Structures are given as C-alpha cells and as structure tokens.
Structure 1
C-alpha cells in the first residue's frame, strides 16, 4: 500500500468514523424512540448479540449470489423504516424516501459499477442512516455503556480470531463487495479506495452515544478521540508500520482489534466520574437529575 493510499484510507475512514457517531448523538438528543419491553440488558443479551454476530458471516457466505442483495435490501429497508418512523410520521412520505434512497443505491451499482463514487456515496448514506437508527434503538432502549464496552471487547476478540486463526474476514469482504447494498461505507476514486464496515461503525456509534448518555460532555470528549485514533487511524497506518518493522505487511488489520481495548479502557476511565446515567435520568429535568454524590457508591440496576 502506497503512502498516498494510506493517507486516503486514514482520511476517509476518519470522516465516516466521526460523522456517523455524531449523527447518532444528534438523533439521540433530538428524537425519542419507543422503548421496547425488554427489561434491563444483562449478560444474556450480550451473548445473544454475539451469537448473531457469529452467525451473520456464515449466512452471507451461504446465500446464493442472487439472493444476497435481496436479503440485504430487505434488511436495510426494515432498519430504515423502524428507525425513522419517529422522524417522518407519514408512512407514504417515509417509504417514498426510503425506496428512492435504496433505488439510487441499486441502480448506481448496476449502471456505474462497484468503483463508482456515486454508488459508494449512496451506499454509505444508507449504511450510516441504519447505524444511527440501530444505535438509538439500543441505547434509548436501555443498553448501557458497560454492556457496550464488554460487547466491543468480545467483538475485538472475534475479529482477531477470524482474521488470523480462521481467515474468514477477507472472504466475507470479497463476497459482499461485489453486490449492491454492501454493509459498509466508503469512497472509491480511481485507484484510491477506503471502506469501513457497518459493524465497525455500529460499534463506534454505540460506544459514543452510550458514553454521552451516561456521562454527558465528558463521555463525548472521551469517546470521539478513541473512535478516530483507534477506530480509524490506527487500523489504516498499522499495516505499513508493521511492514516497515518486520518486512511483512499484513493485508488486513481488523479495526476492532485496535479499538476494542482502547474503548474498554475508556469505559473504565469514565466510570471514575460516578454511576452511569440511565435514560430516565437523562430525560429528567436538570435540577432533578441525580449527581454522583446523591447516587452513592452503588450503581443503579437499570
């Protein structure tokens, strides 16, 4: 990878890694979604999420070529309509906007090809909107920073395993990139290309939004630098640095391998500010919100 490609990759990935979490936080501040009756998040919920993450790559690889874009289109359409119902209440207007966006994604891929900037901008818009929606459904629904920190740490171990011991990551990326509705964001211009996975963006948005819910501005000041430095810059510059040091340049450094440990340490640092705010604490008037001193040493259960 040339120096120009490395700089391009770092710049584009940093832009997406910053824009999507900030979009999720803005949505969190402005839009309320109905909370599902799931109770409080616990270890079982994390296990279910990890099971879904483990099964998804095998599902992608098992689907016939013609079925994959159909499944991805249905998943994207469902995610968009659920997440943006509170934003666009009129069904006809909301579905018209969703179908127009998905049609732009699909037709630009078929007519202009997988290297078209138009296709990648359209696809990145779809992916970013879905990540913003999914983030808020989880964070406003009760998922806490503690849950997300552990989930991201497990995700980092998963990515490391499937990038080294069981080399599935590259196969999955190759299988998906040739179709419309790729679950990734990025931009290709000529020989320059940069792609960041939807799962990575979801991890960054979940961590940032939950940190903001839990600790306000302090959470945001902690989360965003971690996302940019360890989620976007480190994975981009690590391969050439490793190649320069060892003489062997790895083809892929999974982003979560860099981000997950940093995010978990960031969570431990934020814990020193006191117990996490719950959603009802965040929504309460400022004068009624509990301070760390009022809350005491015991962290709330929900």
Structure 2
C-alpha cells in the first residue's frame, strides 16, 4: 500500500469513526425518544445483543445475493422510522424521506456502480443515520456505560476469534461489499483508493461515546472521543503498515474492536474510579425528587386544635 493510499484510509476512517458518535450525542442532547416499557437494562440484555451479533453473519451468508439488499432495506427502513419519529412526526412525511434516502442509495449503486464515490456517500449516509437511531433507542432506553464496556470487550474477543481461528469476518466482508444497503460506511475513488468501516464498529463507537456522555457529561465525552480517535480509527488503520515495516508481511485483517474493546473497557474503569456512579436518564431529564416535597411539608402550618368553649 502506497503512502497516499494509507493517508486516504486513515483520513476517511478517522472522519467516519468520529462523525457517528458525534451525531449520536447531538441527537441525544436535542431529541427525546419514547422509552419502551421493558424494565431496567441488565446483563441479560447484553447476552441477547451478543447472541444477535453471533447469528447475524450466518444469516447474511445464508441469504441468496439478490435477497440480501431487500432484507437490509426493510431493516433499515424500520430502524429509520422508529428513530426519527420524534423529528418527523407525520407518518407520510417520514416515510417519504426514508423512501427518498433509500432510493438514492439504490439508484447510485445501479447507475454508477459499486466503486462510485456517490454510491459510497449515499450508503454511508443511510448507515450513519441508522447508527444514530439505534444508539439513542438503546441509550435513552436505559443502556449504561458499564453495559457498553462489557459489550465491546466481548465483541473484541468475538472479532479476534472470527478473524483468526474461524475466518468468517473476511468472508462476510467480501459477501456484502458492493451491494446497496451494505452495513458499512466508507469511500472509494476508483480501484486504487478505498476505505471501509463496518456498521458494527460505528455502532460500538457511538454507543460508548453517548453512554459516556450520559454517565459523566463532558468529561465522559472527551474521554470517549479520544479513545475512539486513537483506538477506533488510528490504531486499526496504521497497525498493518507498522507490522509490515517490522516483519515484512502485511496482515489481511485486524479487527478494530481488538484495539477499541480493551481500551474502552479501561476507559470506563477510569471514569468510574474518578467520577463515581453514572448519571441516569432520570437525572438528565430532571425527574422530580422527594426531598423538596418533604421540606415543604415541614414548613406547612400545623393544624389548629379546637379549644373548648367556657361554660
């Protein structure tokens, strides 16, 4: 890989890796989604998420080629509709916007081809909006930073396993590349310059950053963005070049979560040790507290005691 290709890869990955979490935090600060009545987010939910992550690649590979874009289009449309209902409350307007966005992605692929920059920008816009939507549905629904920290740590083990012992990750990447609505963002300019980042990686960065902001305000946001920049963007893209310079062999694939998972978990432990317990959504929304009511009751005048009349 030439120096120009390396710079292109690093620059595009860096921009996308930061754009997704920043967009999710902006949405979190400005928009409130309806929280589903599903109780408190806990370890069982993390197990369910990991089960979903484990089975999804096999589902992708099992689908015949033409069916994959159709299934992904339906999934994306549903996710966009739920996530952006608070912004576009009118159903017809919301579905018209979603249809236009998905149609632009499909048209760019069919008319301009799989290496067109226009197609990649359109597909990346769809993926980015899905990531912002899914992040806020989970975070505003009760997901905490500790949940995300454990999730990305387990994801690092999963990615390392399926990139080395069971080489499924590269097979999946090859299977979905070039399809409309592919779950990845990136940019290609001809056959020479290309950079791709998976939707799963973007979702991990957005979940970590948004929960860190919810939990610890600006201190959490600064820590999360720094970790995403260094271990989510720079380390995964530069490490193959460094390894090639040292050993003479360039690895085909180094999953980003191998770097970000442990770093994010360590960042969570550091924030918890320095700043204590996480804030909850109730704290951010300003839920009424009991103490002020009690004080008002203390100040209430005592009831008058009737005095018997003199005979």
- Normalised by the size of structure 1, how large is the TM-score? 0.93
Q: Which runs of 5+ in 1 are unaligned?
A: 291-302
- Tell me what 1:295 maps to: none
- Tell me what 1:294 maps to: none
- 1:194-221 C-alpha deviation (Å, 9 max, x unpaired): 0100000000000000000000000001
- Tell me what 2:277 maps to: 275
Conserved in 1, the CA contact under 8 Å of 2:113 and 2:119?
A: yes
- 1:223-279 C-alpha deviation (Å, 9 max, x unpaired): 001001110111100001011112221011111011101100100011020100010
Residues of 1 paired with 2:141 and 2:87: CA distance?
A: 17
Residues of 2 paired with 1:284 and 1:274: CA distance?
A: 19
Q: CA deviation at 1:178?
A: 2.8
- Tell me what 1:242 maps to: 243
Between Structure 1 and Structure 2, how many residues are aligned? 288
- Tell me what 1:31 maps to: 31
What SS does the corresponding residue of 2:196 show, helix, strand or coil? strand
- 1:50-96 C-alpha deviation (Å, 9 max, x unpaired): 00000000000000111101000001100100000001101111111
Q: CA deviation at 1:39?
A: 1.2
Pairwise CA RMSD: 1.3
Alignment of 1:242-261 (within 5 A): 242-261=243-262
- Tell me what 1:222 maps to: 223
Highest CA radius of gyration, 1 or 2?
A: 2
- Tell me what 2:303 maps to: none
Conserved in 1, the CA contact under 8 Å of 2:24 and 2:136?
A: yes
Conserved in 1, the CA contact under 8 Å of 2:145 and 2:268?
A: yes
Alignment of 1:110-129 (within 5 A): 110-129=110-129
Conserved in 1, the CA contact under 8 Å of 2:85 and 2:94?
A: yes
- 1:94-134 C-alpha deviation (Å, 9 max, x unpaired): 11110000000001101100100110010000000000000
The question of 1:262 aligning with 2:263 is answered yes
- Normalised by the size of structure 2, how large is the TM-score? 0.91
What SS does the corresponding residue of 1:194 show, helix, strand or coil? strand
Runs of 4+ in structure 1 displaced over 3 angstroms? none
Q: Which runs of 5+ in 2 are unaligned?
A: 292-311
The question of 1:213 aligning with 2:214 is answered yes
